[in-house]
Amino acid sequence: MTLLEPIVPATILPQRVLLLENSRAYVRAVAQAIEHKLELPVATASSLAEARALLDRHDDWFLALTGLVLADGHRDDVVNCLLGRGLSTVVVTGVYDEGLRQRLLRRRVIDFVLKDNPGSLDYIVWLVKRLDRNRRISALVVDDSASARAHTASLLQTYGYRVVQAGDGAAALRVIERDSTIRLAMVDDAMPGMHGVELTRRLRALRPRDRVAVIGVSGRDDSDLVARFLKSGANDFLRKPYSREEFFCRVSQNVDQLELIGSLQDLATRDFLTGLPNRRHFLEQAERMVPRMREAGRPLAAAILDVDHFKRINDGWGHEAGDHALRAVAAELSTHARPGDLVARFGGEEFCLLVPDLADGPLLDYFEALRRRIEDLDVPSPNGFLRMTASIGVRTAGANDDLHRLLADADRRLYLAKAGGRNRVVAAG
């Protein structure tokens, strides 16, 4: 799994963004950018009264972006209204006042953005995207001081992260081992038992740098410590006391980087249309799986599935409907596959599977059920529901078979299935 997939299982998160501002041109520009680039619904208001009415009408607010000068409210009135309703709030203003900025940041306003700065619109879009994604990311805070831990945890929660806490290195390693959704660890150095540097080293044995970002934290004035953290596998270092803004920038930069690596990995290993693993990724994984299963004496089967008369679907319903059909088949394959099965789009309308630990009757049942799932699919299209069938060739691995043999025979049986009338599973011959 990479970072493109939801890190936390798909829960329905509130999506609506409130944009409270009296400049209509600015509201239009921000709302358009958020709706188009992030696909989040935006509701706009130009006065506190309008904002209150909107807040009463809906209960799925994720974030408020607000100016500070409204016809019926000013500065603290505006912020009090939004924070008072428990809304995550970003101030976007033309008013530069350092005292005010500091005061608002102390009050858990997420950020204070100057709207006249060049690039402020891009920054706002980045910020909203970051805050939206943070809600699907779990962060671990490791510190033996309960108050320091609570402080870091509450900062992370302000920025939307789900937070898990650990009071020492051993507890932190247990969390990392158990919880594969952790993507960020804030590790204090001075802890009894296991220091942060040692914890980082051990954590790295469990999770690589492109999986969990570790940020070392210390208040000690020791110039060697930063290097020791980094050499032990930390991605970054934060010296206490830090400002809230530095904290947010460092954490965000590290999480951005993890996501970038995740999306690059996705580009290399996933099929663009269906999101399934691609042929190359399948072959790499399968090359390892085949000998492993053979040595363990466990059954393994390879199968190639091809949608029947797919050209007719494209010709009759259009290429776009054909793409929908391929996505629908991919979704059925993913749902049908058990943990441990390997599924990929091989190209065109052809898919490939590697299925361990099933043989004979249960193996045939597995592929028959898959064939029926595709036969039963109704794919919505502008011209009605599109239906299709698929043919499947299956080959069970013998003691001396390599991957090439398995795939060649599965392919031959697929063509027997086509020649035999399509919409069938062939596992012999």
Ligand X SMILES: Nc1nc2c(ncn2[C@@H]2O[C@H](COP(=O)(O)OP(=O)(O)OP(=O)(O)O)[C@@H](O)[C@H]2O)c(=O)[nH]1
In whole angstroms, the minimum distance from the beta carbon of 119 to ligand X comes to: 38
CB 230 within 8 A of CB 254: no
Between β-strands 425-426 and 390-396, what pairing exists: parallel, antiparallel or unpaired? parallel
In whole angstroms, the minimum distance from the beta carbon of 345 to ligand X comes to: 9
Report angle CA 204, 208, 210 to the nearest 5 degrees.
140
Length of the chain: 429
Site for ligand X in 329-358 (CB under 6 A): 348-349
Q: Which residues pair with 44 in a beta bridge?
A: 19
d(CA 425, CA 403) in angstroms, rounded, equals: 20
Alpha carbon 413 to chain centroid, angstroms: 38
For ligand X, which is the closer residue by CB, 141 or 307? 307
Contact between 111 and ligand X per CB under 6 A: no
In whole angstroms, the minimum distance from the beta carbon of 376 to ligand X comes to: 19
In whole angstroms, the minimum distance from the beta carbon of 424 to ligand X comes to: 12
CB 213 within 8 A of CB 184: yes
Beta strands in 243-383 (DSSP E): 300-307, 342-347, 350-356, 379-381
338 secondary structure, DSSP code? P
Indicate the residue whose CB is closest to ligand X. 322
In whole angstroms, the minimum distance from the beta carbon of 353 to ligand X comes to: 17
For ligand X, which is the closer residue by CB, 346 or 367? 346
Pick the stretch among 84-92, 102-110, 151-159, 317-325 that binds ligand X (CB under 6 A).
Answer: 317-325
Contact between 310 and ligand X per CB under 6 A: yes
Pick the stretch among 122-130, 253-261, 307-315, 373-381 that binds ligand X (CB under 6 A).
Answer: 307-315
Pick the stretch among 204-212, 259-267, 294-302, 319-327 that binds ligand X (CB under 6 A).
Answer: 319-327
CA distances (Å), origin 212, targets 31, 218, 260, 320: 33, 19, 13, 38
DSSP H or E segment with residue 410: helix 403-419
d(CA 278, CA 380) in angstroms, rounded, equals: 25
Contact between 404 and ligand X per CB under 6 A: no
Q: Which residue in 322, 342, 343, 353 binds ligand X (CB under 6 A)?
A: 322
In whole angstroms, the minimum distance from the beta carbon of 320 to ligand X comes to: 7
Q: Which residue in 103, 309, 327, 405 binds ligand X (CB under 6 A)?
A: 309
Write out the two tokens for 112: 């204070």
Contact between 420 and ligand X per CB under 6 A: no
- Direct distance between the N- and C-terminal alpha carbons of the chain, in angstroms, rounded to an integer: 37
Site for ligand X in 222-281 (CB under 6 A): 273
d(CA 125, CA 117) in angstroms, rounded, equals: 14
For ligand X, which is the closer residue by CB, 142 or 388? 388
CA distances (Å), origin 276, targets 23, 153, 297, 426: 45, 36, 28, 24
In whole angstroms, the minimum distance from the beta carbon of 342 to ligand X comes to: 21
Q: Which residue in 292, 319, 338, 387 binds ligand X (CB under 6 A)?
A: 319
In whole angstroms, the minimum distance from the beta carbon of 326 to ligand X comes to: 6
Residue 162 exposure: Cα atoms within 13 Å on the Cβ side = 14
Contact between 326 and ligand X per CB under 6 A: yes
In whole angstroms, the minimum distance from the beta carbon of 416 to ligand X comes to: 12
Q: Which residue in 306, 328, 351, 367 binds ligand X (CB under 6 A)?
A: 306
Binding site for ligand X (CB under 6 A): 273, 306-311, 314, 319, 322-323, 326, 348-349, 418, 422
